[in-house]
Amino acid sequence: MSQEQLLPYREASDPTYAAAFLDGPFTWDVTDGMLVLRGRCPRCAVAIEAAFPDELVRSGGTSPEPGTHQDKLTLVCTCRCDHPQRPPEVQEGCGAYWALSLTSDAP
Ligand SMILES: [Zn+2]
Ligand SMILES: [Zn+2]
């Protein structure tokens, strides 16, 4: 087969996704109050980017209600590949999603 076969779109998660995501060329930085994560989709191996409001991620701080901060982020694949069987209302991604646990190892 000379043509590359894309995986069909499927909403799926796997316990290995998070580790695979962090294992790839993963970088993050904070820009304008947004935490930007860059890595590779563990399912279709395409470079993706996800942004989260920084306050969502920071534990404690000025959080009005203690205990409401999130230490888990759910990432979804936002690739631009043309995965077959992708529903018309979905514009991007292969359907893979995974949760990242953020441990505050900041000093
Ligand atoms: Zn993907
Ligand atoms: Zn893809």
Cα–Cα distance measured from residue 58 to residue 62, given in angstroms and rounded to the nearest whole number? 9
Question: Whole-model pTM?
Answer: 0.78
Residue 7 alpha carbon to ligand 1 centre in Å? 9
Residue 107 alpha carbon to ligand 2 centre in Å? 36
Cα–Cα distance measured from residue 93 to residue 16, given in angstroms and rounded to the nearest whole number? 18
Q: Which ligand number lies closest to the CA of residue 43?
A: 1
Residue 83 alpha carbon to ligand 2 centre in Å? 6
Burial class (CB in 10 A: 0-12, 13-18, 19+), 105: exposed
Centre a 10 Å sphere on the Cβ of residue 57 and count the other Cβ atoms it contains: 19
Residue 61 alpha carbon to ligand 1 centre in Å? 34
Residue 80 alpha carbon to ligand 2 centre in Å? 6
Q: What is the pLDDT along the chain (107 residues), one digit of tens a residue?
A: 445 689 999 999 999 999 999 998 999 999 889 999 999 999 999 999 999 988 776 654 454 555 545 568 899 999 999 999 999 999 999 999 999 876 654 44
Site of tokens 């690739």: 79
Residue 6 alpha carbon to ligand 1 centre in Å? 10
